[in-house]
Amino acid sequence: MTQLLNDLDAIKQAAQEGYGKDWALPGEAVDYHIATVLQDPAFWTALGKARGWRECEVITGGVKWPDEGWAYHALRYFDTVRSGGNLSQFWQSLP
């Protein structure tokens, strides 16, 4: 699996799974709205597919999120941002 070094690497990898394909100006949209992209569950879902992360399971009364699913890594990303952590290390740590 290709190691990610930054958010643009992650966005490019999610785009390989079809993320952003419906945008009128994909290149400009990614460059201009990086913060918005990183808040989009569809981005994290596509990145998870590209990286082979497990899917969530629908269970009685809700959804079970696996420890290595897209939601888990998205929350890790937001915790890293909120705490002023090292985003480069975060991206490199992704399976």
Residue 47 lies in a domain: yes
Residue 64 lies in a domain: yes
Contact 10, 95 (CB under 8 A): no
Contact 95, 53 (CB under 8 A): yes
Q: Which domain holds residue 30?
A: 7-93
Number of independent structural domains in the chain: 1
Residue with more model confidence, 62 or 42:
42
Residue 2 lies in a domain: no
- With cut-offs at 50, 70 and 90, classify the pLDDT of residue 36: confident
Residue 84 lies in a domain: yes
Residue with more model confidence, 29 or 86:
86
Q: What predicted TM-score, i.e. pTM, was given to this entire model?
A: 0.78
Residue 80 lies in a domain: yes
State the pLDDT at residue 67: 63
Residue 1 lies in a domain: no
